[in-house]
Amino acid sequence: MLDLKFVRENPEIVKQNIRNKFQDRKLPLVDEVIELDAKARAVKTEADELRANRNRLSKQIGALMGQGKKDEAEAAKAQVNADADRLKKLEAQESELNSKVTEIMMTIPNIIDESVPIGKDDSENVELEKFGEPVVPDFEIPYHTDIMAKFNGIDLDAAGKVAGNGFYYLMGDIARLHSAVISYARDFMIDRGFTYCVPPFMIRSNVVTGVMSFDEMDAMMYKIEGEDLYLIGTSEHSMIGKFIDTITPESELPKTLTSYSPCFRKEKGAHGIEERGVYRIHQFEKQEMIVVCKPDESKMWFDRLWKNTVDLFRSLDIPVRTLECCSGDLADLKVRSVDVEAWSPRQKKYFEVGSCSNLGDAQARRLKIRVQDENKNKYFAHTLNNTVVAPPRMLIAFLENNLQADGSVRIPEALRPYMGGKTKLGE
């Protein structure tokens, strides 16, 4: 959420940012929120004057009574009562106006970084860099569920009967591989100085609206019926929520955390044939990283975060590339985002396995995550998040890139301690 003062003083910058995100339907909201804010401030000014006048008259009443000036005291009392009725109406009006202002401000997108390419959707994202040499072997690579099935590692039919489409059973060595990747990612991030955390897997609505836009919330979140609780779509939600309504001494920043959690997503909309199996699902597990830092350090941390994911995938011999998300592909709270995509030898193209985002002070402003410097000045922190690894989708890249001609799957050296010393699946 933007600073209202910034919107008030820079309406054309805010409008151009909306145009850059191809959300022209929101352009009228800028003038509307400025007008509503002006009314709210005028109402507040009148209310403040009435309160000051009430305090002045209250003191006068006591003095007049002490001087025996009963009629004048009664007249002052009548004025206080009249002002009280007016004040009550003004306070209700101010509350209503402020609520409308907040509602609109929650829908106006954050100002994107000047480095973000302008584009309508993900088809206009820009490739930044490739890491590792993409290889297409001279043997056919089966679909990922067929590879898993060869090791008796997946049962989608049973999961469909138990929970419906978008769920799965992983078994045997495939299930073990899934857990090994998560454990390896956990230790990988701990070795890079991040504090490990297992967060709540449900969050309240005020946290949900603090960490994401309304559109994202509707498309992603599962609500617990009859309770003010939502299943998390990613542990970033509860990890950032950990700092809600806090004031952190500047000397204690940055906060760098890595978290494990299951994730639950509606995944609304139709999906292509390449998104069957365990590519796009309602339940998965994830290792995440988040940073809460000073504003002048957020760009540096942004680069560090996505590089962590690249380094992890390269340590497992999986070629990857990074994509700069264009303006139209950025969620409203994001300042900048880079996707990490893994190479698929079967499809002969890259596909998304993680996303790194800098949200500036948008989440901090909504959740009141503040920092206090040595001079006792307070300001909003910057928040960032990035996927370390999210199996089972990551398993698709792992299995395809480590599949051997004889049907076995090579286990890279870094992962072998987590697989009981095995060097390959199928031995």
Q: Could you read off the pLDDT of 302-358 as tens digits, one per residue? A: 999 999 999 999 999 999 999 999 999 999 999 999 999 999 999 999 999 999 999
Give whole-number Cα distances, 68 to 17, 61, 79, 273, 347, in Å.
66, 10, 19, 90, 95
**In angstroms, rounded to a whole number, what is the distance separating the alpha carbons of residues 394 and 286?**
10
Give whole-number Cα distances, 289 to 23, 249, 302, in Å.
30, 21, 11
User: What domain range is 225 assigned to?
Assistant: 122-425
**Residue 111 falls inside a structural domain:** no
> Do residues 86 and 126 both lie within one domain?
no
**Residue 116 falls inside a structural domain:** no
**In angstroms, rounded to a whole number, what is the distance separating the alpha carbons of residues 86 and 176?**
69
pLDDT tens digit sequence for 381-407: 999 999 999 988 899 999 999 999 999
> Do residues 49 and 170 both lie within one domain?
no
**Residue 117 falls inside a structural domain:** no
Last residue of a domain, one of 73, 105, 137: 105
> Do residues 88 and 165 both lie within one domain?
no
Q: State mean pLDDT over 162-168.
A: 91
Q: Please say if the pLDDT value at position 61 is more than 90.
A: no
Question: What pLDDT score was predicted for residue 59?
Answer: 63
**Are the C-beta atoms of residues 171 and 392 closer than 8 Å to each other?**
no
* Predicted model pTM: 0.89
| Domain at 48, CATH number | 1.10.287.40
Angle between helical axes of 27-66 and 70-105 (0-180°, round to 10): 160
Number of domains in the chain: 2
Q: State mean pLDDT over 18-44.
A: 96
Last residue of a domain, one of 54, 79, 105: 105
> Do residues 238 and 319 both lie within one domain?
yes
> Do residues 335 and 378 both lie within one domain?
yes
> Do residues 156 and 259 both lie within one domain?
yes
**Residue 380 falls inside a structural domain:** yes
**Residue 112 falls inside a structural domain:** no
**Residue 57 falls inside a structural domain:** yes
**Residue 113 falls inside a structural domain:** no
Distance of alpha carbon 264 from its chain centroid, rounded? 14
What's the burial of 279, exposed, middle or buried (CB within 10 Å: 0-12/13-18/19+)?
Answer: middle
Last residue of a domain, one of 105, 140, 157: 105
Here the tokens at position 52 are 């000051």
Q: Which residue from 234, 233, 202, 211 is spatially nearest to 331, judged by alpha carbons?
A: 211
Q: How far apart are the first and last CA of the chain?
A: 54
Question: What pLDDT score was predicted for residue 223?
Answer: 93
> Do residues 157 and 95 both lie within one domain?
no
**Residue 114 falls inside a structural domain:** no
Here the tokens at position 134 are 């993409």
> Do residues 58 and 133 both lie within one domain?
no
Share of the chain above pLDDT 90, in %: 80
**Are the C-beta atoms of residues 400 and 416 closer than 8 Å to each other?**
no
> Do residues 96 and 141 both lie within one domain?
no
> Do residues 95 and 190 both lie within one domain?
no
Q: Please say if the pLDDT value at position 73 is more than 80.
A: no
Which of the residue ranges 224-233, 265-274, 280-289 would you say has the lowest mean pLDDT?
265-274
> Do residues 80 and 126 both lie within one domain?
no
Please provide residue 254's backbone torsions phi and psi, each rounded to the nearest 5 degrees: -85, 160
| Domain at 361, CATH number | 3.30.930.10
What's the burial of 83, exposed, middle or buried (CB within 10 Å: 0-12/13-18/19+)?
Answer: middle
Q: State mean pLDDT over 145-163.
A: 94
Q: Please say if the pLDDT value at position 238 is more than 50.
A: yes
> Do residues 182 and 212 both lie within one domain?
yes
Which of the residue ranges 42-46, 111-115, 287-291 would you say has the lowest mean pLDDT?
42-46
